[in-house]
Amino acid sequence: MKTVIFDLDGTLADTSGDLLAAANACFRAMGEGDMLHAGDAGTALRGGRAMLRLGLSRMETPVEEDVVSRWYPVLLEEYGSAIDRHTVLYPGAMEAVEALKTAGYGVGICTNKPEALAEDLMARLGVRDAFASLIGADTLARPKPDPEPLFEAARRAGGDPAKTCLVGDSDTDRKTARAAGVPSILVTFGPSGEDMAALAPEALLHRYEDLPGVVAELL
């Protein structure tokens, strides 16, 4: 079976609001105010450590990795406690998923969000059952851009890892697909959308309504 594997943050859903809120909770606990704002959504979708580094860089303190590591678990706890307060699925995302399934493709998720948080979020959004697989950052020994999480997501979705494509929104997703030797489709409607063309993916996706046709051409 051919499969289509999706990244989560910035691809299926805009999770930036809840991620930024979790990071700002950390900065307030440090005795500072909110160091991040809506304009930092692109950094939020690159993960908790990236947000902590950016916020620390705006404080009168050196950005030290031991500080980032110390606060990262706190950020995850804060995020897990309010994971779906602001998060929304992108328009047309689930309709495209259902169209792909109807056309005979397997669909799954490969994210660098910790697996338990990804599972919780998709369940809270009411769409977990639409996906045959979900691989998180800690499901296997190494996360993306190692290709094995993508391969495993395809296998668990009942597909052939050589006959898959990855829908994502970042350089990490592009590198993952390249390492796997499969096509990448990068979305342009996320916070970093204007940067996607420079990554030279096999396809750019401007709206989810076009995804089934794009996949048919690539696979």
Asked about 7 being catalytic, the answer comes back as: yes
- Percent of the chain scoring above 90 in pLDDT: 95
Q: Is pLDDT of 131 > 90?
A: yes
- Per-residue pLDDT of 79-103, as tens digits, reads 999 999 999 999 999 999 999 999 9
DSSP letter string, 70-137: HHHHHHHHHHHHTTTSS-EEPTTHHHHHHHHHHTT-EEEEE-SS-HHHHHHHHHHTT-GGG-SEEE-T
Q: How many angstroms separate the Cα of 195 from the Cα of each of 102, 174, 199?
A: 32, 12, 7
Per the CB < 8 A criterion, the answer to whether 194 and 186 are in contact is no
Distance between the two ends of the chain, CA-based, in angstroms?
A: 11
Among 2, 56, 65, 46, residue whose Cα is nearest residue 26: 56
Among 105, 134, 108, residue whose Cα is nearest residue 119: 134
What residue segments make up the domains of the chain, in order of their start? 3-14+87-218, 16-81
* Confidence at residue 54, expressed as pLDDT on a 0 to 100 scale: 96
Q: Which fold has domain 3-14+87-218?
A: Rossmann fold (3.40.50)
Find the mean pLDDT for residues 51-71.
93
Confidence of residue 194 (pLDDT cuts 50, 70, 90): confident
